[in-house]
Structure 1
Amino acid sequence: MIKVMIERKIQFGEEQAYDLAAQKMLSAVLLCKGYISSEQLFVRGKANHRVIITTWQSTHDWEAWASSAERNVAISFFEPLLIEQERVLVLKY
């Protein structure tokens, strides 16, 4: 089992649009092989800063999702709302 931490910084004023797009991402990932769970955390005092932590059965499952057409489509909805490219860390136990 692995955890993947994704950090995203959103343009100020676009937080609501981002949250709607993130819901589309969640809908897509729920059907993905190896996906276990996720949580979205808010950085205290920074309304435009999100950290998403997902749990996967294996690195292979995460990599399949990370390079999938479904994820690329979902990301295309909120990528224009970001200040910088998302940062991804794959964490192992």
Structure 2
Amino acid sequence: MIRVLIERNIMDGLEDIYEESVRNILQSAIQAPGFLAGESMKDASNPLRRLTLSKWRSIQDWNNWNNSNQRTELMYKIDPMLSEPEKITILEHA
């Protein structure tokens, strides 16, 4: 089992639109094979920094979702709202 941390910095004024788009991504990810759980959070000290933490059965399951046409299409809507590219970190138990 792995966890995937996605860090995004959004442009000021796009918070509501971003939140709606992220909900769509999470709703789609729930249907992906190997998806176990996920949540979206806001940095308490920086309201433009968002984090998504998801749990996946395996790295392969994550890679399949990450490289899927469905996620790619959904990210086309989010990418223009970001002030820099998203950062993805794959975490596993030590």
- Please, what TM-score do these two structures have when normalized by structure 1? 0.96
The answer on whether the counterparts of 1:7 and 1:50 sit within 8 Å (CA) in structure 2 is: yes
Structure 1 unaligned segments of length 5 or more: list them.
none
Q: 2 CA distance for matches of 1:3 and 1:45?
A: 23
- Residue of structure 2 equivalent to 1:26: 26
What is the root-mean-square deviation in Å for CA atoms of aligned residues? Answer: 0.7
For 1:39, the equivalent position in structure 2 comes to 39
2:43 aligned partner, one-letter code: V
> What residue number does 2:79 align with?
79
Residue type matched to 2:12 in 1? F
What code does the residue aligned with 2:53 have?
Answer: I
Equivalent-residue separation in structure 2 for 1:85 and 1:43 (angstroms): 17
Amino acid at match of 1:45: S
* Percentage of identical aligned residues: 28
Number of matched pairs? 93
CA distance in 2, matches of 1:52, 1:27: 13
Which runs of no fewer than 5 residues in structure 2 stay unpaired?
Answer: none
Q: Give deviations 1:45-92, integer Å, cap 9, x for gaps.
A: 211110111000000000000100010011111110000000000011
Q: Is the 8 A contact 1:2 1:59 kept in 2?
A: yes
Q: Give secondary structure in 1 for the equivalent of 2:79.
A: helix
Aligned partners of 1:61 and 1:8: how far apart in 2? 22
CA distance in 1, matches of 2:42, 2:12: 14
Give the distance between the partners of 1:45 and 1:92, measured in 2 at CA.
Answer: 27
The two structures have a TM-score, normalised by structure 2, of 0.95
Structure 1 residue ranges, 4+ long, deviating more than 3 angstroms after superposition: none
State the SS of the aligned residue for 1:47: strand
